[in-house]
Chain A
Amino acid sequence: MIELRDITKSYSLGKELIAVLKQINLSIIEGEFTAIMGPSGSGKSTLMNIIGCLDKPTSGEYFLDGENISEYQDADLARVRNQSIGFVFQQFQLLPRLTALRNVELPMIYSGIPKNERMARAQEALIKVGLGDRMDHLPNALSGGQKQRVAIARAIVNNPKLILADEPTGALDTKTSQSIMEQFSELNEEGTTIVLVTHEVEVAEYAKRTIIVRDGEIVHADEPKRGSQQ
Chain B
Amino acid sequence: MSLMENMKMALSSLKAHKLRSVLTMLGIIIGVGAVIIVVAIGQGGEAVLKSQIIGPGNTIELFYQPSEEEIQANPNIFYEAAFTQDDIKALEQIPEIKQVVASSSEFSPIRYRDQNADSSIFGVNQPYIDLNNLQIARGQSLTSSDFLSGRRVALISHTLQEEFFESKNPIGEVIHIGNQPVEIIGVLEKPTGLFSFGSMDIYLPFNTWRMIFGKNEITQVTLQAVSTDQIQTAGEKAVFQLNNMHNTEDSYQVINMEEMAEGIGQITRIMTLIIGSIAGISLFVGGIGVMNIMLVSVTERTREIGIRMALGATRNQVLTQFLIESIILTLIGGIIGILLGWVVSSIVAFFAGWPSLISWQVVLGGILFSMVIGIIFGLLPANKASKMDPIESLRYE
List chain A positions with a Cβ less than 8 A from chain B.
Answer: 49, 52, 54-55, 74-75, 78-79, 81-83, 87, 89, 93-95, 97, 106-107, 109-112, 154, 158
Contacts and interface: CB of A to CB of B under 8 A. Distances in A.
Contacts of B16: 97
A97 B2 CA distance: 21
B236 to A, nearest CB: 71
B13 interface: yes
A111 B312 CA distance: 8
Given A93-B303, A95-B304, A106 B311 contact: yes
A55 B309 CA distance: 12
Contact of B315 (A74, A95, A97, A158): A74
A87 B13 CA distance: 24
Interface of B: 1-2, 5, 12-13, 16, 303-304, 306-317, 390-391, 394
A97 B13 contact: yes
B315 A78 contact: yes
Contacts of B12: 97
9 contacts: A75-B316, A78-B309, A81-B311, A82-B312, A95-B304, A95-B307, A110-B308, A110-B311, A110-B317
B391 A54 contact: yes
Contacts of B1: 109-110, 112
Minimum-distance CB pairs A-B, first 10? A82-B312, A78-B314, A110-B312, A107-B311, A81-B312, A75-B314, A93-B307, A54-B390, A110-B313, A87-B310
B50 to A, nearest CB: 55
A106 B306 CA distance: 13
A106 B310 contact: no
Contacts of B314: 74-75, 78-79, 110
B88 to A, nearest CB: 80
Contacts of B315: 74-75, 78
A87 B390 CA distance: 13
Q: For B303, B312, B314, B394, which residue has the most chain A Cβ atoms within 10 angstroms?
A: B312
A54 B310 contact: yes
A30 B299 CA distance: 39
Contacts of A97: 12-13, 16
A49 B304 contact: no
A106 B13 CA distance: 15
B195 to A, nearest CB: 56
A107 B313 CA distance: 8
A112 B6 CA distance: 12
Contact of B391 (A49, A95, A112): A49
B311 A82 contact: yes
Contacts of B317: 78, 110
B92 to A, nearest CB: 77
A93 B305 CA distance: 11
A93 B312 contact: no
Contacts of A75: 314-316
Nearest to B394: A93
Nearest to B309: A78
A75 B309 CA distance: 10
A105 to B, nearest CB: 10
Contacts of A52: 310
Nearest to A93: B307
Q: For B307, B311, B314, which residue has the most chain A Cβ atoms within 10 angstroms?
A: B311
Contacts of B303: 93
B308 A106 contact: yes
Contacts of A83: 312
Contacts of B390: 54
Nearest to A75: B314
A169 to B, nearest CB: 18
A117 B314 CA distance: 22
